[in-house]
Homo-oligomer: A and B are copies of this chain.
Amino acid sequence: MPLGLSLRDIDRLEELISARRRIRRGEPLFRAGDRFEAIYAIRLGFLKSSVMSSDGREQVTNFHMSGEMIGMDGIANEVHSCDVIALEDTEVCVIPYERILAACSEVEDYNLHFQKLLSREIVRQHGLMLLLGSMHAEERLAAFLLNLSQRFESRGYSRSEFVLRMTRAEIGSYLGLKLETVSRVLSRFSHDQLIAVNQKHVQIIDTEGLRAIVSGQSTVTESI
C-alpha cells in the first residue's frame, strides 16, 4: 500500500534535480529543526525517519527504500520535523522545493502528482495508526514483514528473502513494541514455520500464514 514514485515518475522529475547526495550509514540526511529546502528521492539505500518526544523517547515513523520520496514533512513549517538517518550507505537526489513549487504551478499534472504523493503519505499513516492502535504484537510483526516483502518485490528484489537493515530496537520503535518482544515474536514465527530468521536475514516461508495472523485469525487457528 505505501508507495513512493514509479521509475517513470522519477524520470519525469529528473529535470528538477539539482544534485545527488551520498549519506554514509549512521549519518543523517537531515534532522528535526533543520531548515527545509528540498525533497529527496532515494536512488539507493535504506533510511529511517523518527521523531523525538520532549522527554527523549524516539519513535521511528517510517523506513524508506529506493524510489521513495522523503522530506515532505518540512513543507508545513519550513523546518523539518523529524530526523532521517541512513541505515546503510545511501544516495539521494536533491530536488529543491522551490523548483517543485514552480513546476507544479506550470504543469497542472505535476501539481496533481505531487499532491497525490503527499496524500498517499497521509493514507499510509492511517494504516500505521490502525496497526499501532489496535493490533497485537504478532499482528504488527506479520504486517511489517509482509509490507517489507511487498516493497522489495515491487523493486525487483526477492519477496521471500531479504535483509533487515534496521535493528530489533528500531523495528520495535516503529511497531510500538520493545526489542525483546520483536525478538521473541520473530522466534515464534520461526518456530511455527512461517519464516526463517538468522539475525538480520529473513526468509518468508508462509505468506498466507502471515496474512492470516494480520487479519486477526489467532496463530492457533482452531478448526471448528
Contact = CB atoms under 8 A, between A and B. Distances in A.
Interface string A49-62: 00101110111010
A129 B132 contact: yes
B104 A111 contact: yes
A76 B53 CA distance: 29
Contact of A101 (B58, B76, B81, B112): B112
A125 B119 contact: no
Given A105-B105, A108-B105, A75 B119 contact: yes
A194 interface: no
Interface in A77-122: 77, 81-82, 101-102, 104-106, 108, 111-112, 114-116, 118-122
A130 interface: yes
A127 B72 contact: no
27 contacts: A53-B135, A53-B215, A55-B215, A55-B216, A57-B130, A61-B129, A73-B126, A75-B116, A76-B120, A76-B122, A77-B120, A77-B123, A82-B126, A101-B115, A104-B104, A104-B105, A104-B115, A105-B111, A111-B111, A114-B115, A115-B115, A118-B118, A122-B122, A129-B132, A132-B132, A132-B133, A133-B176
